[in-house]
Structure formats: C-alpha cells, structure tokens
Amino acid sequence: MNATDAVRFWDEMHAARTAATDPQPNARLTETVTGLSPGDALDLGCGDGGDALWLAGQGWHVTAADISAVAVERLAALARSHGLGDRVTAGRHDLRTSFPHGEFDLICAHYLHTPFNLDRAAVLRSAAHALRPGGRLLVVDHGSAAPWSWNQDPDVRYPSPREVAADIDLDAATWTVERADAPRRIATGPDGRTAEVTDHVLLIRRTA
C-alpha cells in the first residue's frame, strides 16, 4: 500500500460520512483542557474537527492537520460557519512526510490510528519538540475496538500509554509524563449505538 492508497482510503472514509454540522469534542480533550489558559494548539489527525472547533470556542488558536482534503475542507467551512474562521487554520498534512510548522502550548492526537504505515513515535516525538516550555502533548489512543470501528482485527494489540511513552523516548530532563492510564467510557457510534470502550491516555508536559 502506498501514499496514494492512504489518501484515498481516508478521503473515502470521510466522504462516506455525512458532513457533521456540530461535531463534538473528545471527552479526554475537554477534561484535560478545561481550566487551562488558551494559547496555540495543534490537532494531529483532526478528522471531522470536533476537537479543533471546541478548542477555538474556548479561545485557542488552532492549527488542525489531516491527511484527508475532505476532512480539512469540511473543517475550514465549519469553522467559518461557526464564526471561528480566524481561530482555526486547517491544512492537509500527511504526517508521514509533513509536520505543521510552529510552536504550540497544546498538541493533541486523538485516535491517530491508520491501517497504513505511520511512524507514530516519530510523529509524536516531533510534536513533543514543537511544544513551548510548559506546553502539553495529549495522546489518546483506542484501548479497545468499538463495534462500529473500521478495525475489527481480532489480533490487534493496543500498546499501553507507558509503551507509547517509551516509544517516543523523550529526555526526562525536558519532558515529564503527567498522566498514563486506561479509563473506560460509554461511546456513541455514528448510528447512535452505544458501547463501553477503553481509552489509552498519555499526557506529556514539556518542562524546559
């Protein structure tokens, strides 16, 4: 599978879903960010943009990146229609080869999973380096598969947050792990079904 396959896969995945008019933020984002002073945020693999729009509504200036032009164009249009066009910059990046420029106070990567090769550790290491001192990197991964997930591979293994942190391999003199756990929650699928799922949550803070 090559780069074109990945772009096509994700464009088709997004295009197959009705464009959301009011996408909701992820629960781990809102619980982590509520109470933080707004600054510059970066959303890696922004999808339908619920996180980027929520952050912008909280006063953050958000750079949102996704491999899919469908996702990026939908988010840009939504941000304008929500009156948040000046706070959201949505751009197409294939994170295998392109990382957004800038320094950030918050970088989030929610469910950045793909069936194509992606050196996530390298992407997340780039993210950690793009943080300003005091900034946070929030990585939320699936710890289980929801019944509506595209990935129903019974052999799939979900690395623990500590394993993800070990893969990123950051210098403890500059970055510290603030949270690494596996909370459960009730998730709602695209068709309204609900199911209990596990998240793998890793929160890293740049201290220097």
Ligand X SMILES: C[S@@+](CC[C@H](N)C(=O)[O-])C[C@H]1O[C@@H](n2cnc3c(N)ncnc32)[C@H](O)[C@@H]1O
Q: Which residues bind ligand X (CB under 6 A)?
A: 10, 26, 45-47, 66-68, 71, 93-96, 110-114, 118
Nearer CB in complex with ligand X: 81/117: 117
Nearer CB in complex with ligand X: 32/114: 114
CA distance linking residue 131 with residue 168, whole number of Å: 14
Axis crossing angle, helix 3-15 with helix 69-81, rounded to the nearest 10: 40
Q: How far is the CB of 173 from ligand X (least distance, A)?
A: 30
Q: In this structure, how many other beta carbons lie within 10 angstroms of the beta carbon of residue 78?
A: 23
Q: How far is the CB of 131 from ligand X (least distance, A)?
A: 18
Residue nearest to ligand X (CB): 47
Q: How far is the CB of 207 from ligand X (least distance, A)?
A: 26
- CA 155 from chain centre, in angstroms, equals 24
Is residue 152 a contact partner of residue 145, using CB atoms and an 8 Å limit?
yes
Q: How far is the CB of 208 from ligand X (least distance, A)?
A: 28
Nearer CB in complex with ligand X: 58/207: 58
Q: Are strands 194-206 and 175-181 parallel, antiparallel or unpaired?
A: antiparallel
Q: Helix or strand or coil: residue 31?
A: helix
Residue 104 is which amino acid? Answer: F
Q: How far is the CB of 138 from ligand X (least distance, A)?
A: 11
Is residue 49 a contact partner of residue 110, using CB atoms and an 8 Å limit?
no
Q: How far is the CB of 69 from ligand X (least distance, A)?
A: 10
Identify the sign of the CA torsion 31, 32, 37, 38: negative
The helix (run of H) or strand (run of E) holding residue 132 is strand 131-142
Nearer CB in complex with ligand X: 111/158: 111
Nearer CB in complex with ligand X: 77/118: 118
Q: What is the DSSP string of 35-48?
A: TSPP-EEEEES-TT
Nearer CB in complex with ligand X: 176/194: 194
